[in-house]
Structures are given as structure tokens and as C-alpha cells.
Structure 1
Amino acid sequence: MFNKKPDKITAYLVDFAKHLSEATDYFLTFKVKDDNTLQEFALTMKQYETEADEKVHGILQHLNHVFITPIEREDIMQLTMNLDDLIDGMEEFTALMDIHQIYSSDKYIDQFTDYIQKCSKEISLALELFADSNLKDMEKHAIQIKDYESKCDDLYRNSMKGLFQNEANPIKVIQYKEIYETLEQIADDYEDVANIMQSIIMKNA
């Protein structure tokens, strides 16, 4: 299945995972204080998203020029697109923060972003194993991502319940509902990555 020498596709995917990890670290740790820092946050995440699009293009272009791939082309393409969806989701979240002019986080957003960062680290670890042809040990990372996603499901229900019970301003309800839904969708996208990783393991291990 794998060539003995390093494969460019696996190197591309590991690089993509590192880019995702850098983006989520920034996503989690950057502190918005005012309009200027909010714009900086949104613009930086947009740059991460643009760079991710370029990586997708590089992977797909390489696929068009190689005959032998380490795993099925369809799986490579699906994994690549799923990874791209993650950064797209984070960029969408920051755009919403900018549109709604929200300068502070809350306990639900903090918990969501913490799980998002943890999921990204699991992806990095899994794809490093993939690059080493160690598919067997990837499974535990896919399972851990699904566990974090399940916790995000609970968190989403609690966030919506708290929003409708405690927020009297209807505009704020609409704004935060959209934000929580976006964060929940990001968690779902991480589960999609875990699913394709498990599919790759089943086909190739």
C-alpha cells in the first residue's frame, strides 16, 4: 500500500493537519477586546482559510499527476475536503463575530473552542501515524474525536437552553443561536474527519 520512501500525498496531509492545528491554536487563544482586535481576528482566520484552500488545490493538483497513491484517490479527496471544511467553519465563526460585533466570549464558546482545539491535535497525531504507515494506532484518535463531538452535542443543547432561558434581548438570541449552531457544525465536521479516517483504516490496515 505504501511506498518505502516518503509519499508526497501523506506529506501534504500531515502539512494540512499542522496548518489546522496552528489555526485552531490561534482560534482558541486570541483575545478580542475591541473593534480593532475583532477585525484582526477575522482577517487572520480568513488568511488561514485562504492558505487552506491553496493546500487543497496543491493536493488535488498532485493527485492529477500521479498514477499510484498510498490509499484510494476518493479517500484522499474526501479527507482533504473534510479538513478544509474545518477551517472554513472557523472562518465562518469569526466572520459572524465581526458581523454581530461581539467582543467577548462566554462559557459555551470557550468550551466549544477547547474541544475544537483538542480534536485538531488528535487529527495531527493520527495523520503522523498515517505517514508512518501505522494505520492500526490511528483508530484511538478517531474514537477520541468522536467522544469530543459527543460532548459538543451536549454542550450545544445546554447552550441553547441557557440562551432561551436567560437572554431577553431577541436580537442577542438570534446572534448567539447562529454562533452556537456554527460551532456545533464545526464539531460535526470533525466527526466527518474521524469517520473517513476509520474508513481508511478498515480498507487498508
Structure 2
Amino acid sequence: MLNSKKQDPFFVALHKIAENMQEAVHYANDFRINSVADLKEISITMKNYETAGDKLIHELIVMLNKSFMTPIEREDILEFAIRMDDILDGTEHCIAHFEMFSLTEVDESMRTFLGYISQSADEIVKATEELKKKNMVGMRPHAILIKDYERKCDEVQRVSIKQLFINEKDPIRIIKYKDIYEQLEDIADHCQNVANTMETIIMRNA
């Protein structure tokens, strides 16, 4: 039986990983790109977030290796952490492609994608707050919302790619924009994977 009064260091560590991911995603969403120089700035900052995330994951793995007892299955703890890190890695990778393409035009579809991804990140942090309180069932409403945001991103991808092929005549721009749309959809899928991991934890422990 989990002691609900004392915070568990593993749940605290997962919450820190979630907060770093959330901050990175919101930074990407809030940043306004006006020039190639801006692309360099955002790319460097996102790489710093990714590096910080890798450090947090490493610290968690060290904790897992040193601990005989864990509050839930150690595989679930590590899976949760890695799935959150996938969101951060995917966002950093997407921003790197903006710089690689020298793409300074962020269209409405991209903003919509990033908005839903940011909202998903917020729900993940809220879920880890429930986990810190050892309220497993309290994570479920957040998992449901994340999956809803992913479904909305599916629709954004379908519409944006359809409109891209209708309206854009430059094949190079089609390649660039389609690549970014697909990467943003991948990030939304990573968010859904986090929600699935939450539901696995609930199923095994609630």
C-alpha cells in the first residue's frame, strides 16, 4: 500500500521530467520566428532543453538501478519517463528542421498543432502532479484529454496536407511543409503514447 503522505522520489523525478518537457514545448509554441537568426536562437535553446531532459532521464535510471523497492513497476516508471522524453526529442528535432530548411514562415496549421501539443504537455504535468499525490485514478481525465488532442491533430494533419497540395505549386516548399506537418503529428502521437502509459499504470496499480 502506498503511503499517501510522503512524496516518493520516483514520482517527483517523473514530475521534473514532465515540467522540463512542458517548458520546452511552450517555448517552441510561444517563440515567434521572424528571421534566420531567430531559427538559430530557438534551435540552440531547444537543444539545451533536450540536454536537460537527458540528464533527468539519466538521474532517474541511476535511482532505479540503486533502489531495491519502487512504488510501481520499475519498467512502468522508465517507460513513462522515456515516452515523455520522446515528446521533447521530437519537438527539438522538428525545430532543427525549421533551421535546416531556413523556414521562417510558420503557418496557421503549425500553430494549431503546437497549441494542441502544448495543451497535451500541460495535461501530462497535471497527471504527474496526481501521481506525486499517489492518486493513480486522478491521472485518467488527463489521459483522456491528451488522446482527444491527438485526434484533433490527426484532423489538422489531414486538412493541412490536402490544402498544401491544392494551393502550393513550388515542389520544394511542398516537401518542407509536409515534413514539418508529419513531424508535428509524430509529436502528437508521442503525447498519446504517454497517455497510454498512464492508463497502464492506472490499470496495474489503482
Q: How far 1:35 sits from its partner (Å)?
A: 1.4
Which runs of no fewer than 5 residues in structure 1 stay unpaired?
none
1:77 equivalent in structure 2: 78
The one-letter code of the counterpart of 2:156 is L
- TM-score (norm: length of structure 1): 0.98
The one-letter code of the counterpart of 2:2 is F
Q: What pairs with 1:46-57 in structure 2 (closer than 5 Å)?
A: 46-57=47-58
Residue 38 (str. 1) matches residue 39 (str. 2): yes
Q: How far 1:5 sits from its partner (Å)?
A: 2.2
2:204 equivalent in structure 1: 203
1:177 equivalent in structure 2: 178
Residue 2 (str. 1) matches residue 39 (str. 2): no
What secondary structure, in the 3-state scheme, does the structure 2 residue paired with 1:2 have? coil
Q: How far 1:104 sits from its partner (Å)?
A: 2.1
What secondary structure, in the 3-state scheme, does the structure 2 residue paired with 1:168 have? coil
Q: How far 1:193 sits from its partner (Å)?
A: 0.2
Q: What is the RMSD computed on CA atoms of the aligned residues? A: 0.8
1-structure distance, mates of 2:163, 2:105: 17
Q: How far 1:33 sits from its partner (Å)?
A: 1.1
2:135 equivalent in structure 1: 134
2:116 equivalent in structure 1: 115
2-structure distance, mates of 1:112, 1:83: 17
- Identity across aligned pairs (percent)? 43
1:21 equivalent in structure 2: 22
Q: How far 1:6 sits from its partner (Å)?
A: 1.6
Q: How far 1:171 sits from its partner (Å)?
A: 0.3
What secondary structure, in the 3-state scheme, does the structure 2 residue paired with 1:64 have? helix
Residue 189 (str. 1) matches residue 200 (str. 2): no
Q: How far 1:19 sits from its partner (Å)?
A: 0.8
- Residues matched between the structures, number: 205
Q: What pairs with 1:122-161 in structure 2 (closer than 5 Å)?
A: 122-161=123-162
2-structure distance, mates of 1:104, 1:171: 14
1-structure distance, mates of 2:193, 2:120: 12
